[in-house]
Structure 1
Amino acid sequence: MSNAKIGLVHLRRINPALNMRRYYTLSIQPTLFGGTSLVRHWGRIGTSGQSLIETFDAAEDADGALARLERSKRCRGYVDP
C-alpha cells in the first residue's frame, strides 16, 4: 500500500473589478492499484468546472506535484477561502 498523504487544498480567486470568481481544488487520492492520483478541479464559482487526474507510481511524486501546483496558484493570487 502507498504511503501518500491524503491531501486536500481549496483555493479561491475573487476580483469583483474584473468579474472574476474562480476556484481551484487539489486532492491526493490512492488508486486501486497501489499508486497515487493527484486530482485537480477548477472553474468559475457556481459552475461544475473541469477536472484532470494525474496518476503517479510514487506517493512522493504526487505530494511534490501538489506542492508545486499550490505554490503556482498562490503566486497567481489564489488564497484560502
Structure 2
Amino acid sequence: MPKAEPEPLHLRHIDAARNMRRFYALSTQPTLVGEMSLVRDWGRIGTNGQTMVQTFDGGAEAVEAFARLERAKWRRGYAAADGNLS
C-alpha cells in the first residue's frame, strides 16, 4: 500500500541576534505522467527565495525524501510557521 501524500510543510527559522529570518517549504505534487515531484522553496522571509523540484518514479520515494528533509530542518532549528510543534 503506497504511503499517503504528506501535507505541505511551512517552516521558519528566526534568530534576531544573527539577523536570520529564513523560511523553508516542502510539498509533493503528482506529475502528468504518473510520477511524484517534491517541491522545495527556501530563502529569506519577505523574498521570493529559490525553488527546486525533484521528480521521483514512485510516490513512496518522494514521501521518504520529504520526511528526510523535514527531519533535517527540525534538527537545524526550524519551527512550524503556524507556531505548532508537530
TM-score using structure 2 length: 0.88
TM-score using structure 1 length: 0.93
Equivalent in the alignment of 1:79? 79
Q: 1:26 aligned to 2:26?
A: yes
Where structure 2 has 5 or more consecutive residues not aligned to the other structure, the ranges are 82-86
Number of aligned residues: 80
Structure 1's consecutive aligned runs of 4 or more residues displaced over 2 angstroms after TM superposition are none
CA-CA distance at 1:7 after TM superposition:
2.9
- One-letter amino acid of the counterpart of residue 15, structure 2: N
Is the 8 Å Cα contact of residues 23 and 43 (structure 2) preserved in structure 1? yes
Where structure 1 has 5 or more consecutive residues not aligned to the other structure, the ranges are none
Equivalent in the alignment of 1:44? 44
CA-CA distance at 1:50 after TM superposition:
0.3
Percent same amino acid at aligned positions?
A: 55
Supply the RMSD in Å over aligned alpha carbons: 1.5
In the alignment, the residues of structure 2 paired with residue 25 and residue 36 of structure 1 have an alpha-carbon distance, to the nearest angstrom, of 17
Show CA shifts across 1:15-58 (max 9, x none): 00000000000000000100000000000000010000000010
Is the 8 Å Cα contact of residues 3 and 63 (structure 2) preserved in structure 1? no
